[in-house]
């Protein structure tokens, strides 16, 4: 039966509030690390995203000619909502907000719904650059989605469960990253791709004037940028839970270890990702299908053989 | 079955059911390709919500995941095959309105009659603790043959559809005698070859 969830321990409203605030703080951390790596000025890095956020709240919206306003707004609001929903199954201190028998699929589904949301953000303004960005996201999605799914399922395979708390518990002896390094790298790279950040920022790249984000202003831009940052943070936290032993660690309390590991993953991801140029989506699809799909399948096969030999038991 | 559920669950299922039907109707009412696509997605997500309310989490999230990606792929095909790729011009979303209405109403009536008249077997075992595990065991055990046949059938359909849709074959890529060293593709892939 499911373990106790955060809702059982703290009650519904406080637990949801904690996860929401934690998610927003995680997004701020990602944005700050990103600013610090890009500009090299650590001091202003925390203030700048906050200022940009405050500006987004008060800035007047500009609009375009004949936008599809309903779908545009739905898309913008969906990006941060999905990011926060994906956090519901990330275990902190051994507990998740919501524990189901298909946590990994839930995380994957939130990221898949992002396909629809980002395409809508590109579609809504009735503008060519934005729509091009939306289609670029889908093209990129076709490249990263299957390797990402295989990476997720590999962790579930070793744990014998799709519940994230079970996956963390299964890593008591050995962190999964040791036996599944390919899945770990693919998962983190996939996270950068679905947040269309760093080398995978082609949907919002400068060559199409900002792509999906080109016509966003005010609250809409705030929501989309916030959603991308929170998603990246949520994926880093998920990577810690799935591959880096969750909150296991000596001396310090569990949640602190979890926080430190998440910070380390975010920093490593941003530091490495910002050193790679933006990749063209038409160059990533073939790599995804010809290289990453076989590689992740082989990784899953290796883990399956280890499972049969009782390596993880 | 229904008696096992609490009042709130039944209310949620009914509300989501109505929502899914309403969104399904909206597909034929709106006049934009994008709105029709996303009305259909809303309908599927409402069905996923029904499954979630019935505590079938795996089926619910898989429905949401598959249908969303399906709709997104449909958007890709939209630009490939539509005369109006952006789809921003209002256009009618129905073809052969009378015929499809008859087929739709007939199927609805047939299924409804079937659902309410079939003598469904009663459950003689208790509910499983983990419906995801039970589903996995059924797919990987007693129903494996069915799943394999369906899987291969779907895969063959995808390949056949792609072959029919693409205008370029191997002779365009490798020359009339298939002797070219490198394929001649309009868009180079990411791998060096």
pLDDT grade for B95, boundaries at 50, 70 and 90: confident
With a pLDDT cut of 70, the percent of chain B lying above it is 91
Residues 8-67 of B with CB under 8 A from A: 32, 34-35, 38, 41, 57-58, 61-62, 64-65
Res A226: pLDDT: 93
Nearest to A236 by CA among A288, A192, A296, A300: A192
CB nearest to B61's CB, from A109, A119, A138 = A109
- What are the φ and ψ backbone dihedral angles of A92, each rounded to 5 degrees? -120, 125
Which range, of A236-250, A289-303, B75-89, B118-132, averages the lowest pLDDT?
B75-89
> Would you say residue B187 lies in a domain?
no
Residue A16 pLDDT > 70, yes or no? yes
Q: Chain B partners of A65 at a C-beta cutoff of 8 Å?
A: none
Q: Chain A partners of B130 at a C-beta cutoff of 8 Å?
A: 101
> Would you say residue B32 lies in a domain?
yes
Provide the token pair at B189.
């892939």
CB nearest to B61's CB, from A105, A135, A286 = A105
CB nearest to B132's CB, from A139, A145, A162 = A162
Q: Chain B partners of A162 at a C-beta cutoff of 8 Å?
A: 58, 132
- What are the φ and ψ backbone dihedral angles of A261, each rounded to 5 degrees? -65, -40
CB nearest to B58's CB, from A105, A282, A291 = A105
pLDDT in tens, B145-162: 999 999 999 999 988 988
Residue B98 pLDDT > 70, yes or no? yes
Number of domains in chain B: 2
The residue that leads in pLDDT, A293 or A286, is: A293
A-B contacts (CB, under 8 Å): 91
pLDDT in tens, A91-137: 887 788 888 888 899 999 999 999 999 999 998 888 889 988 998 99
CB contact under 8 A, B58 and A102: yes
Domain boundaries, chain A: 6-308
- CA distance to partner chain B, nearest, from residue A57 (Å): 28
Buried b (16+ CB within 10 A) or exposed e, A272-296: ebeeeeebbbbebbbbbbeebbebb
What is the radius of gyration, based on Cα positions, of chain A?
19
Which of B93, B118, B141 is a domain's end point? B93
- CA distance to partner chain B, nearest, from residue A22 (Å): 24
* Residue keyed to tokens 């038409």: A282
CB nearest to B131's CB, from A101, A141, A145 = A101
Tell me the pLDDT of chain A averaged across its residues: 88
For A55, other C-beta atoms within 10 Å of its C-beta total 12
Which range, of A224-228, A249-253, B174-178, averages the lowest pLDDT?
A249-253
> Would you say residue B51 lies in a domain?
yes
**By residue range, what is the domain housing residue B88?**
1-93
> Would you say residue B85 lies in a domain?
yes
pLDDT grade for B130, boundaries at 50, 70 and 90: confident
Whether B75 and B143 map to the same domain: the answer is no
Residue of A nearest to B31 (CA): A68
Whether B18 and B89 map to the same domain: the answer is yes
CB contact under 8 A, A109 and B64: yes
For A180, other C-beta atoms within 10 Å of its C-beta total 25
What is the value of ipTM here, to two decimals?
0.86
CB contact under 8 A, B72 and A286: no
Whether B15 and B60 map to the same domain: the answer is yes
The rounded distance, in Å, linking the Cα atoms of B126 and A47 is 57
Q: Chain B partners of A66 at a C-beta cutoff of 8 Å?
A: 88
The answer to whether B89 faces chain A, any CB pair under 8 Å, is: no
With a pLDDT cut of 90, the percent of chain A lying above it is 41
Q: Name residues whose C-beta falls within 8 Å of residue A292's C-beta, 6 or more positions apart in sequence.
A: A143, A144, A146, A147, A186
* Residue keyed to tokens 């229904």: B2
Whether B64 and B145 map to the same domain: the answer is no
């Amino acid at each position: 039966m499911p373990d106790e969830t955060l809702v059982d321990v703290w009650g519904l409203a406080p637990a949801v509030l904690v996860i929401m605030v934690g998610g927003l703080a995680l997004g701020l951390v990602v944005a700050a690390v990103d600013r610090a790596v890009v500009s090299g000025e650590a001091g202003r890095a925390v203030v700048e995203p906050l200022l940009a956020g405050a500006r987004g709240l008060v800035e007047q919206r500009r609009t375009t000619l004949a936008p599809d306003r309903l779908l545009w707004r739905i898309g913008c609001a969906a990006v941060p909502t999905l990011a926060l929903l994906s956090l519901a199954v990330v275990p902190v201190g051994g507990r998740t907000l919501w524990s189901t028998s298909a946590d990994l699929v839930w995380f994957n589904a939130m990221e898949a719904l992002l396909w629809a949301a980002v395409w809508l953000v590109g579609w809504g303004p009735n503008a060519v650059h934005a729509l091009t960005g939306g289609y670029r996201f889908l093209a990129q999605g076709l490249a990263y989605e299957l390797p990402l799914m295989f990476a997720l399922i590999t962790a579930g395979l070793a744990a014998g469960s799709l519940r994230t708390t079970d996956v963390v518990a299964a890593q008591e002896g050995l962190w999964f990253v040791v036996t599944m390094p390919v899945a770990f790298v693919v998962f983190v790279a996939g996270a950068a791709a679905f947040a269309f950040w760093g080398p995978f920022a082609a949907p919002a790249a400068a060559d199409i004037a900002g792509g999906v984000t080109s016509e966003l202003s005010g609250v809409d831009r705030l929501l989309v940028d916030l959603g991308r940052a929170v998603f990246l943070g949520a994926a880093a936290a998920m990577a810690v839970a799935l591959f880096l032993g969750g909150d296991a660690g000596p001396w310090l309390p569990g949640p602190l270890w979890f926080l430190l590991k998440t910070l380390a993953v975010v920093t490593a991801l941003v530091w490495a990702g910002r050193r790679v140029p933006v990749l063209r989506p038409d160059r990533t699809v073939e790599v995804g299908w010809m290289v990453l799909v076989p590689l992740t399948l082989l990784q899953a096969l290796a883990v399956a053989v280890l499972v049969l030999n009782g390596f993880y038991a | 079955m229904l008696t096992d559920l609490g009042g709130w669950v039944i209310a949620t299922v009914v509300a989501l059911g109505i929502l899914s039907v309403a969104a399904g109707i909206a597909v034929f009412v709106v006049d934009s390709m994008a709105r029709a696509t996303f009305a259909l997605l809303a309908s599927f997500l409402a069905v996923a919500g029904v499954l979630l309310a019935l505590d079938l989490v795996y089926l619910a999230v898989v429905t949401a995941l598959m249908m969303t990606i399906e709709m997104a792929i449909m958007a890709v095909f939209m630009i490939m095959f539509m005369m109006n790729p952006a789809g921003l011009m209002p256009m009618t979303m129905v073809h052969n309105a009378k015929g499809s209405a008859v087929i739709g109403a007939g199927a609805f009536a047939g299924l409804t009659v079937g659902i309410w008249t079939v003598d469904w077997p009663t459950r003689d075992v208790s509910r499983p603790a983990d419906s995801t595990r039970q589903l996995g065991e059924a797919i990987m055990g007693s129903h494996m043959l069915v799943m394999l046949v369906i899987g291969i059938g779907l895969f063959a359909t995808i390949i056949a559809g792609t072959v029919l849709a693409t205008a370029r074959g191997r002779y365009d890529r490798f020359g009339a005698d298939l002797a070219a060293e490198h394929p001649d593709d309009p868009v180079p892939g990411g791998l060096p070859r």
